[in-house]
């Protein structure tokens, strides 16, 4: 499968569909790769003409936004907006336009309305409860987000793709004409089966968490549990993120996310964690952190919130944990039993290959695009 160049990439194959695919972030974000970029690559391999349009090159984000002062962040957002306007030139000649999330995070969907005027064959994709305010985001611009974007898009686009049933129901309740549920998938060819090392006495059990810095608050809430367990047996927490975490009484290893190191970040832990709070925003999540670990063969412990309860059969392909005592018991059980870790890890990977693999859901994605391209109505 071909790789995608940074910035606006184009493969020219000429047949049979011309697809313009917009992503709502840079390529370092898992949702962009798994719900947009990988589909773009596969479409190109299958002979379609695909133009992939992320918000900006990753280098812009690193130099101007991450950890930078507000003035620098404003400059970044202005450049993103100008780049988005320039990308609209690709819309009129497309057979179908796919929007992975908002074209510009802040303000009403003005750019989306322009796209609709230029080309009515629009499909939009949602993999989060964007109508709810996120729990741990403290950006100075968060007040500018239009939380009515999903409702407005439901009446604007011809087709919608929802990452789970919660999102599907919200879109249908607000008038979406056609909604197809496609989970955030794992490519089994990229996420290979891990090996299960036998750790000697005194070696720490490695717990893993991966995600963006905005979601570190969910993990921080588990700090008391992890500190108590750290007093019982050697324990290490591997955090792979664009941010860093410190937890009193817990040995935390912070590792920056990189594309080259993504698989190792999922395979290195003995146990993958996905704690969540039971909130409307969290119920709209697509369990993707769990699916990533499971796809690599790492056993998982999840909060029983939203789609998490669908992807894991408790005690078979992973553990569900709600209360602090349940979290401690589940971690203790896996930490003490390497055979259980391997058995549960293999069962989790089998579950992903069966129900949440890229190979399984790509035909459904392709059918959504074909349906929109063939829709002759306005």
DSSP states of 49-83 as a string?
EEEEE-SS-HHHHHHHTTT--HHHHHHHHHHHHHH
Alpha-carbon span 323 to 342, nearest angstrom = 25
Is the omega angle on the peptide bond into residue 16 within 30 degrees of 0, that is, cis? yes
Cβ neighbors of 52 (< 8 A, separation 6 or more) are: 4, 8, 9, 10, 21, 23, 36, 37, 40
pLDDT at residue 138, as a whole number: 66
Nearest 5°: the CA angle 36, 42, 46 is 140
pLDDT at residue 6, as a whole number: 39
Alpha-carbon span 129 to 113, nearest angstrom = 21
* Packing angle of the helix pair 223-230, 324-336 (nearest 10 deg): 40
pTM, two decimal places: 0.88
Alpha-carbon span 346 to 334, nearest angstrom = 14
Return the closest-CA partner of residue 79 out of 114, 115, 54.
54
Q: Quote the CATH superfamily of domain 9-185+358-374.
A: Glycogen Phosphorylase B; (3.40.50.2000)
For the domain made up of 205-355, the CATH class stated in words is alpha beta
Alpha-carbon span 57 to 76, nearest angstrom = 11
Query: Which residue has tokens 């404003």?
Result: 74
The tokens describing 177, both together, are 């004409």
Give me the tens of pLDDT residue by residue for the chain, a chain 378 residues long.
333 443 454 434 435 899 999 999 888 788 889 999 999 999 999 999 999 999 988 888 888 887 788 899 899 999 999 999 999 999 999 999 999 999 998 989 999 999 999 999 999 999 999 999 887 666 778 788 889 999 999 888 889 999 999 999 999 999 998 999 999 999 988 899 999 876 766 789 999 999 988 899 999 999 999 999 999 999 999 999 988 999 999 999 999 988 889 999 999 999 999 999 999 999 999 999 999 999 999 999 999 999 999 999 999 999 999 999 999 999 999 999 999 999 999 999 999 999 999 999 999 999 999 999 987 665
Ramachandran region of residue 72, left (φ > 0), alpha (ψ -120 to 50) or beta? Answer: alpha
Burial class (CB in 10 A: 0-12, 13-18, 19+), 334: buried
pLDDT at residue 1, as a whole number: 35
Laid out side by side, the sheet with 49-53 consists of: 9-11, 49-53, 18-23, 96-100, 122-126, 159-162, 179-181
Where in the chain do CATH 3.40.50.2000 domains reside? Answer: 9-185+358-374, 205-355
Alpha-carbon span 13 to 290, nearest angstrom = 36
């Amino acid at each position: 499968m071909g790789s995608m160049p940074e910035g606006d990439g184009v493969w020219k194959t000429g047949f049979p569909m011309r697809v313009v695919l917009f992503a709502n972030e840079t390529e370092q974000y898992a949702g962009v790769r798994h719900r947009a970029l990988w589909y773009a690559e596969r479409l190109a391999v299958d002979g379609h003409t695909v133009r992939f349009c992320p918000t900006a090159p990753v280098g812009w984000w690193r130099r101007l936004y991450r950890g930078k002062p507000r003035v620098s962040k404003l400059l970044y957002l202005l450049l993103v907006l100008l780049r988005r306007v320039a990308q609209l030139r690709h819309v009129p000649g497309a057979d179908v336009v796919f929007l992975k999330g908002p074209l510009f995070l802040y303000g009403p969907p003005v750019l989306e309305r322009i796209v609709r005027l230029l080309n009515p064959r629009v499909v939009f994709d949602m993999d989060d409860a964007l109508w709810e305010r996120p729990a741990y985001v403290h950006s100075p611009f968060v007040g500018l987000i239009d939380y009515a974007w999903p409702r407005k898009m439901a009446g604007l686009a011809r087709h919608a793709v929802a990452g789970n049933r919660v999102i599907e129901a919200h879109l249908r309740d607000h008038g979406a004409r056609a909604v197809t549920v496609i989970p955030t998938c794992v490519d089994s060819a990229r996420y290979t089966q891990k090996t299960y090392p036998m750790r000697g006495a005194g070696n720490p059990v490695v717990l893993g968490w991966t995600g963006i810095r905005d979601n570190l608050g969910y993990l921080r809430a588990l700090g008391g549990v992890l500190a108590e367990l750290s007093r019982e047996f050697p324990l290490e927490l591997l955090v792979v993120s664009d941010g860093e975490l410190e937890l009193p009484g817990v040995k935390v290893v912070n590792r920056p996310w990189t594309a080259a190191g993504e698989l190792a970040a999922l395979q290195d832990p003995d146990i993958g964690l996905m704690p969540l709070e039971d909130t409307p925003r969290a119920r709209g999540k697509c369990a993707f952190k769990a699916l990533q670990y499971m796809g690599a063969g790492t056993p998982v412990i999840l909060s029983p919130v939203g789609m998490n309860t669908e992807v894991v059969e408790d005690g078979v392909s992973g553990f569900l944990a709600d209360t602090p005592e349940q979290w401690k018991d589940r971690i203790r059980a896996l930490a003490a039993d390497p055979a259980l870790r391997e058995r549960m890890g293999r069962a989790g990977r089998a579950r992903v290959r069966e129900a949440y693999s890229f190979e399984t859901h790509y035909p459904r994605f392709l059918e959504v695009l074909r349906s929109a391209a063939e829709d002759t109505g306005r």
